[in-house]
Amino acid sequence: MNEVDVVVIGAGIHGAGVAQAAAAAGYSVLVIEKNDIGTGTSSKSSKLIHGGLRYLESYQFSLVRKSLKERAVLCRIAPELVKLQPFYIPVYKNTTRRSLHIRTGLILYALLGGLHKNNLFKRIRRNKTGKTDGLKQADLQHVYRYFDGQTNDQKLTEAVMRSAQQLGSQLVCRAIIHAMTKTESGYSITYTEENKECTVKAKVVVNASGPWVNEVHNLLLAPVNSLDIDLVQGTHIIIDVPAPSGIYYLEAQDQRAVFVMPYEFNGEKKTMVGTTEKLFLGKADDVKATDEEVDYLLNIYKTYFIPDTKQTTVKVIQQFAGLRVLPKDDGSMFSRPRDTILHWAIPGFLSLYGGKLTAYRSTSELVVQKIKPLLGKRQRIADTKQLYLSKE
């Protein structure tokens, strides 16, 4: 029987991050993943490493400050995987968020980022982006440019997991957990890997399964305190259009923020549009993009980049949907907190609810601080702020 300090359930970005942080702190770790590394929600994000400019509207200032700080860390330790890109915010005659609103938000964004040069913005000539990418010029009043990060979310997750393994973490993929039993010293977990039944003992379990978080609780042979959540579906489409020169931050007809951005598809630079926000009911394994969402995103692209006088067919070459975990609330999905909630489902079993790709590293360090009293002190062997993450 294998024995470890920590079992992590899920090899998405947070599972990989927790494995890396725990191993760096000197603990023995086993990660159990039912599919492959980073193939769930962590491969279906908007691929952005950003502070979350739009979260300023819901007053999530600490989340924005933390995310900007983490963006700087990732740009430094993963330069092959996280790169700053220009973001363009066009303001039109009928745009709800007026120029003063945008400018105020960008000033606050820069202040929360410590006025670092990478967090500054400028107003550019309104026809400059139009000549490059075909942005609609009619009724265009201003265009603001600032910088945020873009990544390949799955490759970033794989890089973090490789780092965790180099620090001593073990990983089993395509493994199915059958039961988890509370014991006097922690937990006994039974799972199947390659048709072979295995058992591992752990002092602590970290549930980093993303939208499957409460489904995992059903495997516990003990009463569990699960949080009430909403699963929110976000769909992206890839269209057969050459990639734009930067990322466009656009206001949809329902006033939501939607991005149009470069995306590498089969070795070619194409355009990605996303995302939607739709309440999802059902099992997380069953999520898929709907025709309604695809049409919604296509219409936004056409509104901003294809004039009414120009009849152009835009071909969707790929579509995918992922799930966000948000606290259950009767209010709008936009205004709900986006930071991770660390919750003891039962003693010694810590579940992660929600969270941002950008803040995975700092969240993982918080998890280690949370579980440390149950594990005792170890000799730290590395600092995740200094561990280089390579593309391959």
**Full DSSP string of 161-175:** HHHHHHTT-EEE-SE
Of the listed ranges 128-142, 145-159, 164-178, 374-388, the least confidently predicted one is 128-142
- Read off the amino acid at residue 48: L
**What SS3 class is residue 207?**
strand
Dihedral sign, Cα of residue 217, residue 218, residue 220, residue 224: positive
Predicted model pTM: 0.93
* pLDDT bracket for residue 154 (50, 70, 90): very high
**What SS3 class is residue 276?**
coil
* pLDDT bracket for residue 358 (50, 70, 90): very high
14-40 pLDDT, tens digit each: 999 999 999 999 999 999 999 999 888
213-223 pLDDT, tens digit each: 999 999 998 88
State the Rg of the chain over Cα: 22
84-104 pLDDT, tens digit each: 999 999 999 999 999 999 999
pLDDT computed for residue 40 by the predictor: 87
Work out the mean pLDDT of the chain and round it to a whole number: 92
pLDDT at position 1 over 60: no
Domains of the chain in sequence order? 2-42+154-228+337-375 (3.50.50.60), 229-327 (3.30.9.10)
For residues 387 and 392, give the distance between their C-alpha atoms in angstroms, rounded to a whole number: 15
Whose tokens are 């609810």? That residue is 353
275-314 pLDDT, tens digit each: 999 999 989 999 999 999 999 999 999 999 976 546 578 8
